[in-house]
Amino acid sequence: MVERARFSFLPLGLSARWLSNKSIDSRNCFELMRMGYAIPKQGYFEQARELGELLERDRGGITITPLSGMLHHNVAALDFDSQYPNIILRGNLSYERPEGSSSDSMGLISKVIEPWLKKRLELKKVKKTLARGSEERIVCEQRIDALKLILVTSYGISGCCWNRFGNVLTFEEINKRSRDAMLKAKRIAEEKGYDIIYSDVDSLFVRKDGAERGDYEHLASIIEAETNLPMSLDKHFRFIAFPRLKSDYSSSALKRYFGVTYDDEVEARGIEMRRDDVPDFVKEFQRNLIFCLMQYDNYEDVYSKGVAKARALLEETMRRVAEGDIHQESLFIAKTLRKSAWEYRNKVAHLSAAKQILARGKVIEAGDK
């Protein structure tokens, strides 16, 4: 909240209630007034264009679907650091110059995001000097995440109809340059003999037999030089797996994976342990299950020792559940009320809980947990 308030020049109370678009609009207006410009009224203008041009340009980032249900060993996740903000800054893209500019004068978006991108990169350096699990590191990570949200949203609303300065051509150009960078990164990796396991807009998951951390870092530096966008080794997985789609068992689900790094950290995306509305008991069980399975250095141990340990953990957990040997607090499910209790049409579980709270004479409103 402090980072949001500083960015938008708002008191904490207003910053908590304003949506991202309104906060960014506040900062945009400040920058324009500081430059001596009058602020236009809210409006959105887009020229009529041919269908062929829309089909060519109105596209998002590139995603490569992983192989279904496969377990992969020694995989590196290479990440374009703050890809969209860096594309904006290095191309000097903005609402008023969607094609970019090589001039020294910065566009509005660049003026707004540059200090916050620098701040985020500095905090990422500080994070590496702090002890894992320390309060200082946790606070540092929270600030990094808050700044990431500000930067990503600045890109996301660049073509939004609710952005008074929005220009869909700018949004499309940023996405086009993102696609070009990812295609170039994919080509370079394949030319160097790496297999592409998966990609998602600004992340490229690659592997190569016998490759070590230094090899992956060298590949990232080559891609950075070719694309003119900073890239680094984000995670080095000992093992990583991609779940299948529930509706189509022959296909992998996008934006979902889990694995264990060479630092013995469990990393996951899109599964239960990453959801806010899943009980702590379930999250902890899933985290331990993944580590039991993937803590080994080769496929043979994973399929023998790992599977045996995972089954033992499952049986022990089922016994504890059957015997009620679980703290109640670890089974709590938290849900946010998205609207007034009287506006819901479906009888969802958290609506029932909200009505019970109201029946006791307490106040609960939209936005409350």
**What are the Cα distances from residue 93, in Å, to 112, 161, 196, 223, 227?**
12, 18, 30, 22, 16
**What are the Cα distances from residue 338, in Å, to 164, 194, 349, 354?**
26, 45, 13, 11
- Cα separation, 321 vs 310, in Å, equals 16
The domains located in the chain, with CATH, are 2-47+60-270 (3.90.1600.10), 271-332 (no CATH), 335-369 (no CATH)
20's enclosing H/E stretch is helix 20-34
Q: What mean pLDDT is predicted for residues 67-81? A: 89
pLDDT score of 164 more than 90: no
DSSP state letters, 291-335 = HHHH-SSSHHHIIIIIHHHHHHHHHHHHHHHHHT-S-GGGG----
pLDDT score of 310 more than 70: yes
Least confident of 65-74, 75-84, 86-95: 65-74
pLDDT score of 347 more than 90: no
Tokens representing 292 are: 């039991």
| Banded model confidence at residue 44, pLDDT cuts 50, 70, 90 | low
The one-letter code for the residue type at 130 is L
Tokens representing 63 are: 């995603």
DSSP 104: S
Q: Determine the longest span between alpha carbons in the chain, in angstroms.
A: 70
Work out whether the CA dihedral 207, 212, 217, 218 comes out positive or negative.
Answer: negative
The one-letter code for the residue type at 308 is A
Contacts of 171 (CB under 8 A, 6+ apart): 155, 158, 159, 160
pLDDT score of 43 more than 70: no
Q: pLDDT for 230-281, tens place per residue? A: 999 999 999 999 988 877 777 777 889 999 999 999 999 999 999 888 999 9
Whole-number mean pLDDT of the chain?
90
What are the beta bridge partners of residue 349? none
pLDDT score of 76 more than 80: yes
- Cα separation, 269 vs 275, in Å, equals 9
What are the beta bridge partners of residue 259? 240, 267
- Burial class of residue 55, CB neighbours in 10 A (0-12, 13-18, 19+): exposed
Phi, psi of 169 (to 5 degrees): -65, -35
pLDDT at 349: 87
- Cα separation, 80 vs 72, in Å, equals 22
pLDDT at 104: 76
| Banded model confidence at residue 52, pLDDT cuts 50, 70, 90 | confident
pLDDT score of 45 more than 70: no
- Cα separation, 174 vs 61, in Å, equals 9
pLDDT at 219: 97
pTM for this structure? 0.84
How many other C-beta atoms lie within 10 A of the C-beta of residue 166?
A: 20
pLDDT score of 204 more than 70: yes
pLDDT at 227: 95
Angle between helices 20-34 and 108-128 (to 10 degrees): 120
| Banded model confidence at residue 187, pLDDT cuts 50, 70, 90 | very high
